Structure 1
Amino acid sequence: MTRNTVEKTSVTLLGLGAMGTALARAWLAAGHPLTVWNRTPARAAAVAAEGARVADSAAAAVAANPLVVVCLLDDASVGEALAGTDLAGRDLVNLTTCTPAQARARAEWARARGAGYLDGGIMAVPPMVGVPQAGGYVFYSGSREVFERHRETLAVPVGTTYVGQDAGFAALHDVALLSAMYGMFAGAAHAFALIRKEDIDPTSFAPLLADWLVAMAPAVHRTADRLRSGDYTEGVVSDLAMQVAGTPTFLSTAEQQGVSPELLGPYFALMRRRLAGGGGDEDLTGLIDLLVR
């Protein structure tokens, strides 16, 4: 058998929403035999035309292949779709968005039914799937054996990053990164609001803002180092006391520009709390400890 005729791993995919359809097309384009199921059968028509086999039930789809990928609405949908299916001997890869606790519970649920389990957090949007240069990837956690067995197949739609045997770690990494993204969006929203009523072109301001955010991004490495060492004062340039002293300027500027401080206010409140607790010579790392309950 030549390299070009090596049989590709067959895949079962449950769920053909926007992301599921993108995954299906990527596997089909790469030559992987694909069996699909969707609660609304009409959604399967497009990928069927591209070569996918459409199963008439989730149970039939699961029975078709050892590798079963699930990409549904939520954890409850996963339980409903797989209820009554025979998962013994199957490798279940769950790409449904869920919480870490739900992922851990689903892993135990799958193991009790004789299945290997891998949870995934997708760090991509559908247009990035099947486009290597787009930079999308999936966090995977759970069975290392399952990950290694299917690593090449899972890497076809987007890249893969394994983050540990704890099944909840993929969801935790996913939500942690997206939480940071929303924090960045919040800061950018406040920045644009400040200039909104002025004769400042937002399209000229945007490159300045983007470059500034990129320049500030390496600070996360210093934060990580300080969290690991437990020393929040070493090498600090702008300490917390100095930064808190400057916050009235930000709040006054917002007031003068007619902008609500509600996006910055909670963070500034944490800064004042840490300062009141004696963290004036630290950087901002100590605020993390205030958030952890």
Structure 2
Amino acid sequence: MTNNHAAVTVIGLGAMGAKMAETFLAAGHPTTVWNRTPGRATHLIAAGASEAATAAEAVAASNLIVISQLDYAAMDDSLQGVDISGRVLVNLSSDSPDRLRQSSRRATERGATLITAGIMVPPPGIGQPGAYSFYSGPREALETHKPVLEALGRVDHVGTDPGLSMIYYQAMINLFCTTLVSYFYSAALLGAAGISAEQSRPYAAALLADLTDDGPMGFLKILAAEIDSGSYPGEENNLHMMAVGSEHIVQAFAQAGLDTTMPAALAALFARTDADGHGLEGFSSMIETIRKPAR
């Protein structure tokens, strides 16, 4: 059987794992599935999957084992006592970077190879244009199974350190979540003044477009260059001015009778950066404070 139609086992049939199994089946891969809680595989069996009775049976069915569970402890529990020697485990579950490193060492001790991964789309996006995942671990093992994994989306190998995939994943999820929560706060502030989310949406969209524009004036491009160079010019827009403005934002939320948790946290970060002597530097100098956690 060629790699283009190689067999794969999927362990974990929550929304993410079930969609992965569906996607492998649709791409022509013989797919074995197993879930700790029975009864999750009915629709997959109807689509052509084979349901294993035990985790050991599931692992024995394929050289490639794709895992999508709550965390890495779930993998350890599922595979306890199972012979995984010679198998390549690709775990797309969430956990801490150090936990991934520990699991990689344990897998090696048991004769298996662990490739860690973070998938950057929700279940409906799996296998769709634009879908991708961060992978880290042994490149050779990943390359061997890349044709199968590409059914899920683009395969981005970010390094051999098993923790790197989760660092990339969590960095992007942090950006995603904090951006959206910031939007919720802004929508609430405007809503308190009788302005609908739809009325303000074009302004939010234009601001996000300015942030991500790849031209010479794109904010992210400018800030990334400043961070990498360690130079934070503030002649035109210094951090002290932003620190003062951030306090005004907190006051606006308080006066509107809204929660101030996120605006207050941002104002505190600005204040610490200002107190650390970066007041006359630019906005990006805040990264120096982030690199030195508050004691």
TM-score, with normalisation over the residues of structure 2?
0.91
> Quick one: structure 1 residues 186 and 194, their matched pair in 2 at CA, closer, same or farther if it must change by over 3 Å?
same
**Aligned equivalents of 1:42 and 1:276: distance in 2?**
58
Q: Residue 139 of structure 1 is aligned with which of 131, 134, 137? A: 134
Whether the aligned pair in 2 keeps the contact of 1:123 and 1:138 (CA below 8 Å) is yes
Quote how far apart the aligned CAs of 1:7 are: 6.2
Q: Give SS of 1:79's match.
A: helix
The residue aligned with 1:226 is 226
Quote how far apart the aligned CAs of 1:242 are: 2.3
Whether the aligned pair in 2 keeps the contact of 1:123 and 1:174 (CA below 8 Å) is yes
Q: How does 1:139-158 map to 2 (within 5 A)?
A: 139-158=134-153
RMSD over aligned Cα atoms: 1.9
Q: Give SS of 2:277's match.
A: coil
The residue aligned with 1:205 is 200
Quote how far apart the aligned CAs of 1:263 are: 1.3
Q: Is 1:174 equivalent to 2:173 in the alignment?
A: no
**Aligned equivalents of 1:193 and 1:154: distance in 2?**
41
> What whole-Å deviation, never above 9, does each CA across 1:121-165 have from its counterpart, x for those lacking one?
011111111222xx2211101111111111111010222211110
Quote how far apart the aligned CAs of 1:67 are: 0.8
**Aligned equivalents of 2:119 and 2:4: distance in 1?**
27
The residue aligned with 1:110 is 107
The residue aligned with 2:32 is 35
Whether the aligned pair in 2 keeps the contact of 1:22 and 1:130 (CA below 8 Å) is no
Q: Which amino acid aligns with 2:11?
A: L
Q: Residue 193 of structure 1 is aligned with which of 188, 192, 195? A: 188
Quote how far apart the aligned CAs of 1:72 are: 1.2
Quote how far apart the aligned CAs of 1:26 are: 0.6
Q: Residue 159 of structure 1 is aligned with which of 123, 146, 154? A: 154
Whether the aligned pair in 1 keeps the contact of 2:23 and 2:127 (CA below 8 Å) is yes
Q: Is 1:255 equivalent to 2:276 in the alignment?
A: no
Quote how far apart the aligned CAs of 1:236 are: 5.6
Q: Which amino acid aligns with 1:176?
A: A
Q: Residue 60 of structure 2 is aligned with which of 41, 46, 63? A: 63
Gaps of at least 5 residues in structure 2 are 213-217
How many residues end up aligned between the 2 structures?
A: 287
> What whole-Å deviation, never above 9, does each CA across 1:56-95 have from its counterpart, x for those lacking one?
1111111111111111121111001111111111111111
**Aligned equivalents of 1:180 and 1:6: distance in 2?**
35
Quote how far apart the aligned CAs of 1:207 are: 2.3
The residue aligned with 2:285 is 286
The percent of aligned pairs where both chains have the same amino acid is 36
Q: Which amino acid aligns with 2:30?
A: P
Q: How does 1:45-84 map to 2 (within 5 A)?
A: 45-84=42-81
**Aligned equivalents of 2:182 and 2:202: distance in 1?**
15
Q: Give SS of 1:13's match.
A: strand
**Aligned equivalents of 1:32 and 1:11: distance in 2?**
7
The residue aligned with 2:215 is none
**Aligned equivalents of 1:56 and 1:248: distance in 2?**
59
**Aligned equivalents of 2:95 and 2:246: distance in 1?**
37
The residue aligned with 2:269 is 270
Q: Which runs of 4+ in 1 moved over 4 A?
A: none
Q: Is 1:21 equivalent to 2:18 in the alignment?
A: yes
Whether the aligned pair in 2 keeps the contact of 1:14 and 1:70 (CA below 8 Å) is yes
> What whole-Å deviation, never above 9, does each CA across 1:193-226 have from its counterpart, x for those lacking one?
1122333232121222122122123433333222
Q: Which amino acid aligns with 2:127?
A: G
**Aligned equivalents of 2:141 and 2:57: distance in 1?**
22
The residue aligned with 2:88 is 91
> What whole-Å deviation, never above 9, does each CA across 1:171-204 have from its counterpart, x for those lacking one?
1111111111222122212211112233323212
**Aligned equivalents of 2:73 and 2:207: distance in 1?**
41
Quote how far apart the aligned CAs of 1:274 are: 1.5
